[in-house]
Structure 1
Amino acid sequence: MSVLSALRLSHIPALAFAILGLYWGCFAALVPLLKERVGAGDGLFGLLLLGTACGLATTMWFAPLVDRLLGRWSMGLSAVALSLAFLLPGAVTSPIGFFLAMFACGLASGLTDVIMNARVSDLEARSGRSLMNANHGTFSLAYAVGAFATGLAREAGVSPVALFAVLAVLVLALVHRLRMTPAASEASDAPASLPWGIVLLCGAVVLIAFMSEAAVEAWSALHVERTLGGSAAEGALGPTMLGLTMAVGRYGGQAVSERLSTTRVIIWAAVLAVGGTMLVVVAPVPLVAYLGFGIMGLGISVIGPMGLALVGRLVPPSLRTVAISRTAVLGFLGFFAAPAIMGFVSEGFGLRAAFGAVALLLLLLLPLVFALRKRGA
């Protein structure tokens, strides 16, 4: 009941999380097809995906201003921008066009992400409850649904443009349900400057979590199809498995986070994620890889949301949206820099080595957690 009550309390931003999850799940399952259409190798395609990181880095800095200007309409209008931006990757066929399309997706995705996380943080402060895991679980569940449905659509020959157009119609039909007024803050609450130590530490935690998640999202389908010889539908099961287990982990984490300390949960989650990643590295067949992706998803599922929740709790209300946006800058740059790094490692050493590098990255969470404990997290 903890998850259901949390989603009832935060049903407006939860809808935005679901919309964002559907789009990225659809995109993840389309990666092999989009990569083929632009005629890019692993290294070049990884560089093209950096367009999203550039868009995210740009939008994260002005997202708080947009949020203040648009007020209760900011979340809905950012979702509309998202639906328009994602029409582009399915339509372009050149590398330059794809980079620009991903830049637009990064802009819209980053804006939506900052605003919806800030709304959840507002509700957490108002209710005194932990809500972030439940909302991020909704993203993961929608991501899995989007990836699985897209895999079936690919088998049926449906074009990427048609898929994204259907999602755009869905968003336009739901946009009126995304109206939510930001929490008011008092000027007296604001300190002289943003506590950058907290922001950087929490941002590094989110960065590693989202880099690991992005590695699976962008390259799991290719790993199953190319390294392990799977079909298009079998390839789509890679990101689908990640999304499903991340949803389970985050919904379960909603209950766990109300009983255990955040830092303790992150430590055990990191250990679990490393084990799953190593299983992906040694997998001889798709079935074993699915198991690895699933265990990895369970582990990394709670790390990013808890990093964002931590920064929301450790800064004053007047700085919450700004702090979350700055933390998200770090986190989501990693989220979309990871596919590029994976591409270069894969180009030189193969996808097994690339996923091995992800396991090493996850181990860096341990010293970060100990540093946060010293700050009273």
Structure 2
Amino acid sequence: MFKDLYLARGPLAAFVAEGLAWGSFAALVPALKPQAGLSDAALGTALLVAAVMAFGAMWAAPHMDRLLRNWTMPILLGVMVAGFLLASTAAGWGIFALAMALAAIGAGSTDVAMNARISVLEAAHGRPLMNMAHGIFSLSYAIAAISGGLAREAGLSPLQVYLLIGAVILGLVLVMLAAPVSDSDAEPGTRGGAPLRWGFLLPVGAIVLIGFMAEQATEGWSALHLERTHGAGAAEGALGPAILGLTMAVGRFSGQALAHRLDEAAVLRWAAGLAALGALVAAWGPGLGYGYAGFAMLGLGVSVVAPMAFAWAGRMTASGSKALAISRVAVLGYAGFFIGPPIMGFLSQGYGLSISFTAMAVGLGLIPLVLVGIVARRG
């Protein structure tokens, strides 16, 4: 594990940076929402605008990577931090939507770049790294969610929290620049070798989409669900996303070992089933403890969905096209990362958060029942 951590330290620094930024956001949503004067639907609409803006940026990320090379992740993370800083001071829907668009553009494009680099390292060294990388994100997310909740209890403003997060990310940028990953696909003027197999990559992208949709929707709305439905305080509400992040970290580090022993199809079937059950428990459990238990089950299950799908795509794609294939799967999949919270907002406005989490459970059920079989046949 220490060898793997050192080997992937450059892109892993980007995973840590994103975990810190989004974990803090999850804990600060209950403060950011009234500060900007947003209803549930208005918050969902702002996040939907951010998702639309980010989608084009993610599709163009491989081209930006060929142009910026080692500066890709530092520059894009700078855009993300600027967006969150602006969101932490936003006092209206327009400014908040613009801020979240900047954060989503920077974060989404960085996701494409860092996952592509992890895939390149896996192919070059013959070691599974994807679950570990996403586990690092989850651990960082959990730490930031807990710290964000405690910061709210202590009276710190969202701006003060994100100024601290920005200083930490600046240090992580230095790690990225000191440990660049050589990727021939990202060299200026070069193109991938073999054509992409869209019949295989599209259902893989759908798996990632559903996994990230459930993950990000829970990250963004779990604290509100616990506070609104069960009367939890700020720190108790922050435990929702914190528990999700911690159990996702446990699941992903465990997935690092499972990747040596089980095939992707088996892991995805069991993991998605557990996540769907956890979403139902969180949605309809009669007390705060049931909410915590449901989010823990959801975190353990959904933790390995995206990493295993990314690893599956990389393993089944010819050398010379791995980075581009991972990028396209990421573009398809990370749409779920951004459309999950808006869907939750719209459903919550009309039917309540319990129905919102039930919809997430239905989506997760499609992975073992439909999508895994399609990917296995086409792979």
Aligned length: 373
In the other structure, the counterpart of 1:368 is 371
Cα distance, 1:77 vs. partner? 2.5
Which range moved further: 364-373 or 52-61? 52-61
SS at match of 1:318: coil
In the other structure, the counterpart of 1:292 is 294
Letter in 1 for 2:303: S
Alignment of 1:187-266 (within 5 A): 190-191=193-194, 193-266=195-268
Change over 3 Å in CA distance of 1:125–1:360 after alignment to 2: same
Change over 3 Å in CA distance of 1:153–1:188 after alignment to 2: closer
Letter in 1 for 2:107: S
Partner Cα distance (1:91, 1:67) in 2: 31
Letter in 2 for 1:103: A
Letter in 2 for 1:323: A
In the other structure, the counterpart of 2:325 is 323
In the other structure, the counterpart of 1:171 is 169
In the other structure, the counterpart of 1:270 is 272
Partner Cα distance (2:182, 2:191) in 1: 18
SS at match of 2:105: helix
In the other structure, the counterpart of 2:46 is 48
Partner Cα distance (1:64, 1:72) in 2: 13
Deviations 1:145-190 (A, max 9, x none): 0000000000111111111111111222332210214322597961
1:33 equivalent among 25, 31, 34:
31
Partner Cα distance (2:160, 2:93) in 1: 21
| Root mean square deviation, CA, Å | 1.6
Cα distance, 1:346 vs. partner? 1.3
Change over 3 Å in CA distance of 1:189–1:321 after alignment to 2: closer
For the Cα contact (< 8 Å) 1:56–1:332, is it kept in 2? no
Partner Cα distance (1:54, 1:204) in 2: 17
Letter in 2 for 1:190: G
Give unmatched runs, 5+ long, in structure 2: none
Partner Cα distance (1:311, 1:356) in 2: 29
Deviations 1:318-371 (A, max 9, x none): 322322222112211111111111112112221111111111111110211001
For the Cα contact (< 8 Å) 1:269–1:300, is it kept in 2? yes
For the Cα contact (< 8 Å) 2:196–2:325, is it kept in 1? yes
* TM-score w.r.t. length of structure 1: 0.95
Alignment of 1:83-98 (within 5 A): 83-98=81-96
Check if 1:182 corresponds to 2:182: yes
Partner Cα distance (1:4, 1:371) in 2: 36
SS at match of 2:89: coil
Partner Cα distance (2:319, 2:31) in 1: 44
Letter in 2 for 1:39: G
Cα distance, 1:33 vs. partner? 1.1
In the other structure, the counterpart of 1:9 is 7
For the Cα contact (< 8 Å) 1:207–1:335, is it kept in 2? yes
